[in-house]
A and B are shown apart, each in its own frame.
Chain A
């Protein structure tokens, strides 16, 4: 049986369903990300697990413990759930030293002095904070503060760590470094992570599995690579990377043409049979398109920008724009020139998705 189980969980704010009949199983020691744009319900989900929000329907279990249940009118307050949690805005207490911040959860448990000191020291050592233990967290950088928050969450040795956009207040360079640190801590302590983020590359780099959410509804739950290579729908495709969508319509002979023009697609470019429909959306990534002289989708280069590593093309295809990115060493057409586009990995989606 999975370790953390959300069964049919629904949460409403007024008339809006922030989370709609969510079922979710997270394994022991797994790193699981909730990914989606702001307002998709990912933070609400996390806060329901933490106990800061109650449920309008459903149940949440961890191991053999029931945490929340609407039907049984049961609700365990956050302070009794024994999770570690890290917030976006650090939330370290400025009036306590780094040491006292980390020791706080243990003092609340009335832990014996020797054990408390040992555990606090452990947590501070594994987050590289032992040297600044007596200082004020106010004197630390953003990264330092977030480490204090991590150490504090570690101190009680939780089975589950809840991380709410913990890296988005940090600058990009530090973000990457902390990502590795979190991963290392997980290896060392073996807790499960529920990680909320809106940053797809963060989710990809960190997670064993990712759940993509939109407006409170699950779009896809899968491994990072599968999410990347087979996005379940247009939303997921668009959310996890730079995207092109070409609206196309069927010609009736199994062939397709670019909507609003007489630019036909090459004969080899047809949707799998089960997806065929009068109108479709043809999705591709800018980095997964080659220029070709024959047999491609015909277009005209409208803009070409040298961005250093890559050269960025905007190609007009029957009034729609397709973006192409090529390495700086690869030759390509110039502005105003006609070109053919060969999609290396086309994806087909329904038009209204």
Chain B
């Protein structure tokens, strides 16, 4: 069992508090992602769990073992924590062959030769590297090196895998392929995976649950990918999870108007008394058309991006962008020219207090 419990963790680096009083539980067998911008402390958190760093405060349990208790000055060294780690920069040992890299954890555990060989070859097969056992890392591509690192982390059957941006040095196609492989491996082996990344698409595709962190090392929201994307807890989460468009809305005498004009907001109204609001929405939440329905606006800029037509639209002094798939635009006569009138309808809006928006910036 590898449930990870982090309890009131604080960590300082070079005089700066990177994590403060952070608590989090990761269940056994789940693929859990720490998602956040660079410098948000997600890697630090992973390093604390791995044992490469020690927190100033708090306790960490892995399964039934207390691996860190700052108060009691307990800190198990990484080699005793029974985990597999994969790093962003692969960290395969350049002076060892693929086989030797993967065999190293078993050698340290003094595994009998026959058993060791069998297990190493098995694991190398698992990451689709069979036939390359005698190669040196310098003779492998980036993707292959990362597979070696993965095999090395898996070979000793750890109950917990820590992956620190393992795909960010790979090209887009490979990244996608490896993403599926990691997911399938996690299911097959029934291990706990803690995945650290700044890429929201990988996080959404891969995770059972995601913790979104902000620059100050705080956890903003923990939830399933669907929840995080569709029910963001805050403006910061909404902005971080994908292309975010905003429309300024003002409240006058209980009625809500878009921008500086007189068109009322025809949908669900925000709850609250603030005067200035911001409506956030995804490009796919807005439908642009020539029908006389919804908000009236003007196309300020039309931009052909291949698969998408990208429009910058102005509605009464507030500007935002929206897109239409090119084939739809061509078929439905939605190829707007700059300066043309258009109408806009919205599928869903997320309301944020304009003051929060200023704070974010």
Residues of chain A touching chain B, judged by Cβ–Cβ distance below 8 Å, are 180, 200-201, 204-205, 224-225, 228-229, 240-242, 285, 287-288, 303, 305-310, 312, 327-329, 344-345
A274-B306 Cα distance, complex, nearest whole Å? 27
Task: Scan B306-348; emit 1 where CB is below 8 A from any A CB, else 0.
Answer: 1100100000000000000111001000000000000000010
A288-B310 Cα distance, complex, nearest whole Å? 17
- Chain A residues with Cβ below 8 Å from B306 are 200-201, 204, 224, 228, 240-241
- Within the complex, which residue of A285, A309, A328 is in contact with B307, where a contact is CB–CB below 8 Å? A285
- Residues of B in contact (CB 8 Å), total 26
B225 at the interface (CB under 8 A from A): yes
A225-B304 Cα distance, complex, nearest whole Å? 8
| Complex contact B327–A308 (CB within 8 A) | no
| Complex contact A309–B200 (CB within 8 A) | no
- Within the complex, which residue of B200, B304, B327 is in contact with A345, where a contact is CB–CB below 8 Å? B327
| Complex contact A241–B307 (CB within 8 A) | yes
| Complex contact A328–B284 (CB within 8 A) | yes
5 closest A-B pairs (Cβ-Cβ)?
A305-B205, A308-B242, A201-B305, A204-B306, A308-B229
| Complex contact B307–A307 (CB within 8 A) | no
A348-B304 Cα distance, complex, nearest whole Å? 24
A327-B324 Cα distance, complex, nearest whole Å? 12
B11 at the interface (CB under 8 A from A): no
- Within the complex, which residue of A200, A228, A229, A307 is in contact with B204, where a contact is CB–CB below 8 Å? A307
- Chain A residues with Cβ below 8 Å from B201 are 307-308
A309-B323 Cα distance, complex, nearest whole Å? 12
| Complex contact B283–A229 (CB within 8 A) | no
- Within the complex, which residue of B205, B307, B327 is in contact with A306, where a contact is CB–CB below 8 Å? B205
| Complex contact B204–A306 (CB within 8 A) | yes
A228-B284 Cα distance, complex, nearest whole Å? 21
- Chain A residues with Cβ below 8 Å from B301 are 180
- Chain A residues with Cβ below 8 Å from B52 are none
26 A/B residue pairs, CB under 8 Å, sorted by A: A180-B301, A200-B306, A205-B304, A205-B305, A205-B310, A224-B304, A225-B304, A228-B304, A229-B327, A241-B306, A285-B307, A287-B327, A288-B325, A305-B205, A306-B205, A306-B226, A307-B201, A308-B282, A309-B282, A310-B284, A312-B205, A327-B284, A328-B284, A329-B284, A329-B347, A344-B327
Name the distance in Å between A304's Cβ and chain B's nearest Cβ: 10
Residues of chain B touching chain A, judged by Cβ–Cβ distance below 8 Å, are 180, 200-201, 204-205, 225-226, 229, 241-243, 282-284, 301, 303-307, 310, 325-327, 330, 347
Query: With A228-B326, A329-B284, A345-B327 in contact, is A306–B304 under 8 Å at CB?
Result: no
Majority-rule SS of A interface residues: mixed
- Chain B residues with Cβ below 8 Å from A240 are 306
A188-B330 Cα distance, complex, nearest whole Å? 30
A293-B226 Cα distance, complex, nearest whole Å? 26
A84-B253 Cα distance, complex, nearest whole Å? 57
A222-B326 Cα distance, complex, nearest whole Å? 17
| Complex contact A287–B242 (CB within 8 A) | no
Kindly list 14 other residue pairs between chains A and B, CB separation below 8 angstroms, not including A204-B304, A228-B307, A305-B204.
A204-B305, A205-B310, A224-B306, A225-B326, A229-B327, A241-B306, A242-B307, A285-B327, A288-B327, A306-B225, A306-B226, A308-B200, A308-B282, A312-B205
A280-B14 Cα distance, complex, nearest whole Å? 62
| Complex contact B284–A205 (CB within 8 A) | no
- Chain B residue nearest to A330 (CB atoms) is B284
Name the distance in Å between A157's Cβ and chain B's nearest Cβ: 27
Name the distance in Å between A348's Cβ and chain B's nearest Cβ: 17
| Complex contact A309–B205 (CB within 8 A) | no
Output the residue of A241, A309, A345 with the most chain B CB within 10 A: A309
| Complex contact B225–A309 (CB within 8 A) | no
Output the residue of A180, A224, A305, A329 with the most chain B CB within 10 A: A305
| Complex contact B205–A287 (CB within 8 A) | no
Name the distance in Å between A86's Cβ and chain B's nearest Cβ: 21
| Complex contact A308–B204 (CB within 8 A) | yes
A309-B310 Cα distance, complex, nearest whole Å? 15
Name the distance in Å between B94's Cβ and chain A's nearest Cβ: 27
- Chain A residues with Cβ below 8 Å from B204 are 305-308
Query: With A288-B327, A345-B327 in contact, is A309–B305 under 8 Å at CB?
Result: no
- Within the complex, which residue of A205, A241, A329 is in contact with B303, where a contact is CB–CB below 8 Å? A205
Name the distance in Å between B221's Cβ and chain A's nearest Cβ: 14
A75-B325 Cα distance, complex, nearest whole Å? 47
- Chain B residue nearest to A304 (CB atoms) is B205
- Chain B residues with Cβ below 8 Å from A306 are 204-205, 225-226, 229
- Chain B residues with Cβ below 8 Å from A312 are 205
- Chain B residues with Cβ below 8 Å from A287 are 307, 325, 327
- Chain A residue nearest to B305 (CB atoms) is A201
| Complex contact B243–A309 (CB within 8 A) | yes
- Chain A residue nearest to B310 (CB atoms) is A205
A303-B243 Cα distance, complex, nearest whole Å? 24
A204-B305 Cα distance, complex, nearest whole Å? 6
| Complex contact A309–B180 (CB within 8 A) | no
A200-B307 Cα distance, complex, nearest whole Å? 10
- Chain B residue nearest to A312 (CB atoms) is B205
A309-B226 Cα distance, complex, nearest whole Å? 11
Name the distance in Å between A302's Cβ and chain B's nearest Cβ: 10
| Complex contact A307–B205 (CB within 8 A) | yes
- Chain B residues with Cβ below 8 Å from A309 are 242-243, 282-284
A204-B307 Cα distance, complex, nearest whole Å? 10
- Chain B residues with Cβ below 8 Å from A345 are 327
- Chain B residues with Cβ below 8 Å from A328 are 229, 284
